[in-house]
Amino acid sequence: MSKNIIEELKWRGLTKQITSEERILEAEKEHSGVYCGFDPTADSLHVGHLIPITLLKRFQDFGFNPIALIGGGTGMIGDPSFKSQERVLQTNEQVKENSDAITKQLKGIIPGVDFANNYEWLGKLSLLDFLRDVGKEYTLGYLLAKESIATRIETGLSVTEFMYTILQGYDFYQLYVNKNCHIQVGGSDQWGNITSGTDLIGSKVGRDKTKAAGLTINLLTKKDGKKFGKTESGAVWLDANKTSVYEFYQFWFNQDDEDAYRMLKFFTFLTEDEINILQKQAIGDPKARIMQHKLAEEMTAFVHGKDGLQQALNITNGFFQGSLKDLSDKEIEVAFKAIPNGEITENETLIDVLVASKAASSKREAREFLNAGAITINDEVLKDENLAITKAFALDNKHVIIKRGKRKFFGAEFK
């Protein structure tokens, strides 16, 4: 283990900007609070949030008190940082529901984390009090110099979003005063908002007395420059009802070697030596996908626990190594939702089932697959296009899983 949190973050390649290493190391000695904000824009977090989530856990491992700040107040406005246009405002009810959902989610992932919701203070703050106590601490020139604001001036920025960075600065001040929180962390796009907080605290408590510091981490992009966490089917959610444990596991497993190595450093809690050993093993046996296996296992267990990981492994083995018949009814249901599928009625012909399940785009294509011996149901290669598909083919009397070739799976569900 590294000597301190700064060393730990640097060897992992996580650090982007730091206001004061000295203050962060002092906060480590004092076991002070460290916080990261999560705006409730949806009822689940996604894999893009895992860097700040794992960051809070890393600080916790070095003796800090981790605080997850839910943006119940700022979520009603929206962060303008590097967005191309104004956010659509959510209703109070949406923000409350989303806040409750991601709070529950975070509690399950990081035990022992402290929680706060900025609606607690922002919701009570009158406009006059805000202008007197907070607004007067910021000059217009200071705000216009913020990159997150400057990039939106020409395309349009409402006063509502313009005030966001001040509100976030006030959040840091509230946590500093009431929760002994000296450090704020976030992605590199949050640098302007973080320094709004450290500067406000300096103004309030004195530049020579403040212990506030901020740190940003590199935003992870894949080696091809594409945004991390986005797939053809959309975001990869941390909620198993939105992204199944099998799909979650496969997301990590399907990274290439270069990205897998970087992600092992960015996301897991493996040591530098352990990661380097995995890399050497992967170079010696590239087909074994050693780094990908470990990455998928570590991240699935971190988010979904040991039971979630075991379910993902069972489904993966059922698809690619063992038999789908060995899966439990629950695992069959999870597997079915993770693949293209459609509804059928009993005794439909095999060729119609292939089209309904999206295993083939047309009957002509279906015949090509059948003639090539590429269609398998329950480990049996089928070629008769007129074969009646009954519930006897279903794994659980309801779901039929069709294998096309070696690695393509499709599902048909009896109505």
Annotated binding residues for L-tyrosine: 35, 164, 168
| Whole-number Å distance between alpha carbons of 220 and 398 | 41
Q: Among this protein's residues, is 198 annotated catalytic? A: no
Q: Among this protein's residues, is 226 annotated catalytic? A: no
- Spatial CB neighbours of 65, under 8 Å, sequence gap ≥ 6: 31, 32, 33, 34, 114, 179, 180, 181
Exposed e or buried b per residue across 92-120, where buried means at least 16 C-beta atoms within 10 angstroms of its C-beta: eebbbebbebbbebbeebbeebbebbbbe
| Whole-number Å distance between alpha carbons of 415 and 412 | 9
Q: Among this protein's residues, is 330 annotated catalytic? A: no
Catalytic residue (choose from 41, 60, 151, 310): 41
Catalytic residue (choose from 49, 58, 146, 211): 49
- The strand pairing partners of 389, in sequence order, are 348
Structure token digits, residue 413? 């569900």
Catalytic residue (choose from 15, 151, 160, 231): 231
| Whole-number Å distance between alpha carbons of 59 and 6 | 10
Determine how many CB atoms are found less than 10 A away from the CB of residue 312.
28
- The strand pairing partners of 400, in sequence order, are 412
Catalytic residue (choose from 46, 293, 363, 398): 46
Pairing of strands 375-377, 181-187: unpaired
Report angle CA 39, 67, 198 to the nearest 5 degrees.
Answer: 80
| Whole-number Å distance between alpha carbons of 395 and 378 | 8
- The strand pairing partners of 230, in sequence order, are 235
- Spatial CB neighbours of 74, under 8 Å, sequence gap ≥ 6: 37, 39, 118, 122, 164, 167, 168, 171
Catalytic residue (choose from 189, 239, 257, 396): 189
Binding region? 35, 164, 168, 230
Binding region for ATP? 230
Q: Among this protein's residues, is 363 annotated catalytic? A: no
Catalytic residue (choose from 10, 16, 57, 87): 87
Q: What DSSP letter does each residue of 285-307 carry, written as one string? A: -GGG-HHHHHHHHHHHHHHHHHH
Q: Among this protein's residues, is 231 annotated catalytic? A: yes
Catalytic residue (choose from 10, 16, 57, 83): 83
What is the Cα 300 distance to its own chain's centre?
12
Catalytic residue (choose from 10, 57, 204, 230): 230
Catalytic residue (choose from 19, 90, 105, 168): 168
Catalytic residue (choose from 31, 107, 223, 227): 227
**Contact between 27 and 34 (Cβ < 8 Å):** yes
Q: Among this protein's residues, is 46 annotated catalytic? A: yes
DSSP 415: -
DSSP 117: E
Catalytic residues: 41, 46, 49, 83, 87, 168, 189, 227, 230-231
